[in-house]
Amino acid sequence: TELNKTGKEQAEIVGRRLRKLKFDHIYTSDLSRAKKTAEAINKHHPDTPFALDIRLRERDIGKLGGKSIQDASNLIKEEGTKWDDYGESEEDFKGRVVDFFNDMIVTHLPKNYPGSSSQNKRNSHILLVTHGGVINKLIKGHLIMDLNFSVNNNLNMKHNAKNTSVTKFVVRGAENPNSTADDVTSVVSSNTVENETNDGASEKITLRLKGEVTLWSCVSHLAAQGKRTHDDSQIDDYA
């Protein structure tokens, strides 16, 4: 679906809120609402590389897609099913989100990290524009639950990500060839990450990661629209 009037206003507001920050790359879902929001941000960063990635799409819910919550709930009741019975499985959904995260890490970790394909000499600042389900799956389901990233004590992780809210996480890492698939508290995922070598072959690397979620679902930039606010003092903090 397309952004409505409120959605367009919120996209413009978050674009202005982030205009002074520097991003090395912007990735967005190719679905219209996320893409339009990303474009509203990107116009303040015209020289920043901008890429669409279908792995950042919201979970596919099959024939429930495009229906109102009420209509979808009525159909589920009529068919005696559950939300999870439709479309993409939770396992497949998480799998593609983690796959995107793995590729992003290998691409953008500074080149001094073994296994990185980046030529960056410093840490990259990456902007992801995606959907609430993807954000929840990546942050709560993978970074916190799987990789054991620390969480700012002031965060309220109980609520889900809100429209045009800002969430920040920091990733640090180094290769550990002795890591095993059971070491999911620090490995990118339970699978190794394939990296293409100069001769076109694929080599498998395993990166140990650590990091933290420093800001969760901040919407203080929407205060003028009467939205519930959270402290956003850390949005500008890259330390």
Annotated binding site for substrate: 33
Strand partners, 203: 195
Is the alpha carbon torsion for 210, 115, 102, 179 positive or negative?
negative
**What Cα–Cα distance (Å) separates residue 108 from each residue in 127, 136, 171, 172, 214?**
12, 22, 10, 11, 19
Q: Which residues are annotated as a binding site?
A: 33
Whose tokens are 């095993």? That residue is 180
- CA–CA separation, 62 vs 152, rounded Å? 36
- CA–CA separation, 219 vs 230, rounded Å? 6
